[in-house]
Chains A and B, each alone.
Chain A
Amino acid sequence: MNTLEDRLRAAARAAAGTVADGTAPPLRLPQPGRRSGLRGRFPWIVPLTAAAAVIALIAVSIFAAHAVMPGARRPAPRSEPIPRLADGLPAYFLEDPAMASPDGLQPLPVNTGPVPSQFRSQETLQVMATATGRVAATATLPGYVTAIAASRDAFFAAVVQDNAARFYEIQLTAGYAGTTVTRLRIAPETAPIAYLAASPDGARLAYSTVIMQGGLDVAQRLVVASTTRDSEREWTARPYYDNSYMDSMGPMNWLADGRTLAFSWNVSLQGNMATMALRLLDTAVPGSDLMADSTESRFGYPGFAGQSYTTLSPNGQVMVGVASAYPQSPAPQGSVVAFSTATGLPTVLLRASGGDRESGCYSPLPWISNTGSEVLAACYREIKSPPSAAYVVHVVLINHGHVTGLPWLDGTAAWATAFP
């Protein structure tokens, strides 16, 4: 019997085959003189307005985060922070090699699907030394790892066992040559987990799930759970399709305050221009409506209107992302661009230019420093043009605009990683 992939290929080609060559209707262009109005004469108006709105939203959110619970205390660190290298990079990171199998398809990363047989009983993660690319330690988890994350001093994993995800903390032992694995008291999660993020102090885990009905994603759900006590909150956004449409929630990261969560969100209804918004949620403020309780930079910055995920630096001052193929992009598609949330001004950290330079970079970026001045990126370089295109992928550190290759980490570019 044909595989599902074969059925899909055949169906798509059959549908495309209904459009014969040379049958496109004549192009109907708008009337001359209507190519651009106010925005054409003053192209900076919309970006400037959007930037001002974003800055205001972020400022209000961060201010509110500090204003509502000024006396909140964070739990004491449970171990020493993972050390940093001279250039600010964390000395160790966690990777999950099984998430990128050489056959091209990742084992199903959801709780509800079939777990690959080789991972039903256990899966081994690797703690990598950033300076050498060598495996420093391993951690064996009792099931299929569906998501990983890192705090300043520990790593975390969501592990599927018996159709439910359980949460584990992975601590590096003295000398960073071993690990201890501890199951956390967070309630098992039966919904598919999409993304996982640990607060800087490791006191809380945030994870996003989709709620499915009839095989369709009908709602997004965000859960924030304490790693030290039985405390859990959740936010939902539904229905999936309506006038306030929302698409899938993207990657998220905690800000340095330990309570504000920044996450990517794909919104539409911009004519033909879908946008990837960056939203901020103060997890300490009461509420359960993900949309109402979070602020958004809906119209984003020029060039970030496409499908590229953006990341807000932990100090909340710099938004970094990969530019999309949109007219107002400040740099070619695939470039890494940072925007100051104070001024809205863009800085091209890495310009995608092809040739012997980078053809582009992938989003989300695997690591960003507290100030956003150092960024780790997985980039690709075209070494052979289409139709038989070929690329090499490698990891680079962008430090204040200076790009340095880290070839010993190239092998991790396609893997799931978690950097403190």
Chain B
Amino acid sequence: MESPARLRSIAASLAGITPLQATREPSLRLWYMEPKLVTAQGSAGPEGGDVGAAVTALYQVHAVGLIRLAVVMLGDRAAAEDVVQDAFAGLYRRWDHLSGPDRALGYVRSSVLNGCRTRLRARVRDERLAAASPATSAAVSAEQAVLIGEEHAAVLAALRRLPDRQREALVLRYYLDLSEPEIAASMGIGRGTVKSTTSRALAALGRVLEENR
């Protein structure tokens, strides 16, 4: 039997956040630090015609980190840039609907992840419709293999075959090094769900890699 004190101890250890790794991915760290960063820079809360300037300022700070994230998800630099552009354009169009300026980066981040989902789904759909000529994915794979090596390209190709949530949980955990509570907060799901999703995703990734050997 576990005592309440023991239970709280376990909970405290689970709740601990590992420091994000600033030296490795500073821009992605900023990606996660959204609300405070935006507020601190004073780039939000524009009136009248300053929306374009505010969105552009946000883009200048976060675009590269978000493009990197989208490249990991999509494996296609051009598509990644498009997704990020679309996300910021959406932010610009919907700025008036933001209930607070600190929502801006959270909104963009969600849009990028959603945009990646849509792109990947469209890609899978297109490949299934044109099963006889999977030229697009082959081209992407070849390009990636040249840029990052075949081993890495194979892992990422397998990653992109996973269901959305599994793929995103793995990227948040193993690329951005977010802890479980952070992932839970980012995805809006419980920590138990994060754990199960991550576990299942790793298992599925292993299976896909094994099949592709």
Contact = CB atoms under 8 A, between A and B. Distances in A.
Interface of A: 4-5, 7-19, 21-25, 27-30, 32, 34-36, 40, 43, 97, 99-100, 102, 104-110, 113, 126, 132-135, 138, 192, 212, 214-217, 240-243, 245, 247-248, 266, 268-269, 271-274, 306-309, 322, 324-330, 332-334, 359-360, 362-364, 378, 380, 384-393, 407-408, 410-416
Nearest to A37: B93
29 contacts: A11-B155, A12-B159, A15-B72, A15-B152, A18-B147, A18-B148, A19-B67, A21-B64, A25-B81, A27-B88, A35-B92, A99-B195, A105-B195, A248-B164, A268-B117, A268-B118, A324-B188, A325-B109, A326-B103, A330-B99, A332-B99, A332-B103, A362-B185, A378-B190, A386-B36, A410-B11, A411-B9, A411-B10, A414-B180
A100 B195 contact: yes
A410 B200 contact: no
B142 interface: no
B175 to A, nearest CB: 4
Main SS at interface, chain B: helix
Nearest to A110: B200
B11 A393 contact: yes
Interface in B120-167: 121, 124-125, 128, 144, 147-149, 151-153, 155-156, 159, 161-165
A364 B67 CA distance: 30
B79 interface: no
A277 to B, nearest CB: 14
Contact of B110 (A133, A217, A243, A324): A324
Nearest to A17: B148
B211 interface: yes
B13 interface: yes
Nearest to A22: B64
Contact of A385 (B6, B36, B102, B121): B36
Given A24-B81, A333-B106, A380-B185, 12 more contacts: A4-B202, A8-B174, A11-B153, A19-B71, A28-B89, A105-B198, A113-B200, A306-B188, A332-B102, A380-B181, A388-B17, A414-B180
Interface residues of B, number: 122
Contacts of B109: 325
A414 B206 contact: no
Interface string B75-92: 101001101111111101
B80 to A, nearest CB: 8
Contacts of B207: 215
B188 A322 contact: yes
